Structure 1
């Protein structure tokens, strides 16, 4: 029987008062069980030192190694500086990552790629800003159109009022409308 199944059987037969203490103990046993298994894992073998590589293909597989074509040797990549010093190997003769790409060309390609990315981001940001300005432009046009509509509707309302006043005056003149100002209008309504 395994340790876990034994712990479960004991847990079932214990009273409620003792279950809390037993739960803590069981958790500690399970944790210890998994920690012991983790300690048994095998660590991976250490990689060969760079000087042990004799060909470019085996040398550049390790990211910490640099192959120099001028003296056909594999050396440690200098971790302190980004570029290897000329005393280690010339940039045009250095190979890192791939044997058919020299380090100088790799750096130029990376710089061009980084410049292109930065330029693309800048252009996108500028386009977004311009698009926002363009969107605000039609808003201004809409505001001016709304103002013109409002003026037109006010003018139309004024014309209606003037026209109604003229019509009412004509109706009063010919007696078609009852005038409340007339002194005898009270008696006519009765």
Structure 2
């Protein structure tokens, strides 16, 4: 059922694009096509076919949808004889709703993933900085211990490097 509705919508859109270039002859109005069928009536894009009254009417451009008094939505045909306005409204609203939901889901996922990616990147950089700092502190401690060993070997005190020279023995 949905596949048929989508296919009908696509046919309607293609039909509208194909017939949009067609215009009625200057003296011919939609009401002159009342004695014809739906296909002949809808050759002109400004015409509306009403199945209930089997009449060809000029589409009321002031209204988005034809009023109920002119022709019920279930019986009104425009663009394609096989699709009424109710099916068209439902199909278009479902497609638009799905597109809006998909847009917001993608937007939410992209923002969330981007924030997670930044947080992960920041955490990884912080861990690397902590590792470098730890290694640097270890190297400093090793250098201090080596320097202390050298000072002890040559009798230099850590308090004053010139203590040896001040107290000659």
- Could you tell me the TM-score, scaled by structure 2's length? 0.71
**Alignment RMSD:** 2.3
Partner residue in 2 for 1:75: 57
Looking at both structures, which has the greater relative contact order when contacts are Cα pairs under 8 Å and sequence separation is at least 6? Answer: 2
Partner residue in 2 for 1:48: 28
Map 1:119-138 → 2, pairs under 5 A: 119-138=101-120
Partner residue in 2 for 1:107: 89
- Equivalent position SS for 2:57: strand
Q: Which runs of 5+ in 1 are unaligned?
A: 1-43, 174-178, 184-190
Query: In the TM superposition, what whole-angstrom CA distance separates every residue of 1:77-98 from its partner, at most 9, and x where no partner exists?
Result: 1111111111110011111111
- Which one has the largest radius of gyration? 1
Q: Supply the distance in 2 between the matched residues of 1:130 and 1:52 (Cα, whole angstroms).
A: 60
Query: In the TM superposition, what whole-angstrom CA distance separates every residue of 1:98-151 from its partner, at most 9, and x where no partner exists?
Result: 111111111111111111111121112112211211121112212321331233
Q: Supply the distance in 2 between the matched residues of 1:133 and 1:107 (Cα, whole angstroms).
A: 38
Specify which structure has the higher proportion of strand.
2
Corresponding position: 1:142 with 2:106: no
Greater than 6 Å deviation, 4+ residue runs: none
Map 1:13-52 → 2, pairs under 5 A: 45-46=25-26, 48-52=28-32
Q: Supply the distance in 2 between the matched residues of 1:107 and 1:47 (Cα, whole angstroms).
A: 32
Corresponding position: 1:152 with 2:134: yes
Aligned length: 136
